[in-house]
Amino acid sequence: MATTTTTSTAKPATERLKVYADKVSAQIQEAKAKLDQFEAKAKEKRAQAQVTAANNLQTMRDHIGKKVQDLKTTHASNVSRAKSDIDEALTTFKAKVKEIGA
């Protein structure tokens, strides 16, 4: 007697594939949710980094302003060095401003 394959054996295989596909889909959705959370946190951190950078620039600006004020009372023998320090700080400040703008 010959055995025949019926659709009953094919049906469980189809059901197993559907269960597997559903399982994979669920894992993909879970991973997508985690990626969305990661992206949101990254955006938040990037915003925080921008706030920190802006605060640092304000501090640099204030520091340069203080150097300029101090220049008014600097002894003549130190004016050249003070100007050099201000120019250097100003160059760094401008570079940082440009960097943030980009």
Confidence of residue 4 (pLDDT cuts 50, 70, 90): low
Taking a C-beta distance cutoff of 8 angstroms, is the pair 32, 54 a contact?
Answer: no
Looking only at Cα atoms, what is the longest distance across the chain? 116
Question: d(Cα 60, Cα 49) in Å, to the nearest integer?
Answer: 16
Question: d(Cα 60, Cα 30) in Å, to the nearest integer?
Answer: 45
Q: Where are the alpha helices (DSSP H) in the chain?
A: 7-73, 79-101
**Closest C-alpha to 57, from 5, 98, 17:** 98
Q: Taking the domains of the chain in order of start, what are their residue ranges? A: 8-101
The single residue listed with the structure tokens 């925080």 is 48
pLDDT in tens, 14-67: 888 888 888 888 898 898 888 888 788 888 888 888 888 888 999 999 999 999
| pLDDT beyond 80 at 3 | no
Q: How confident is the model at residue 31, as a pLDDT?
A: 85
Q: How confident is the model at residue 41, as a pLDDT?
A: 83
Taking a C-beta distance cutoff of 8 angstroms, is the pair 92, 60 a contact?
Answer: yes
Q: Is the dihedral of CA 27, 29, 30, 32 positive or negative?
A: positive
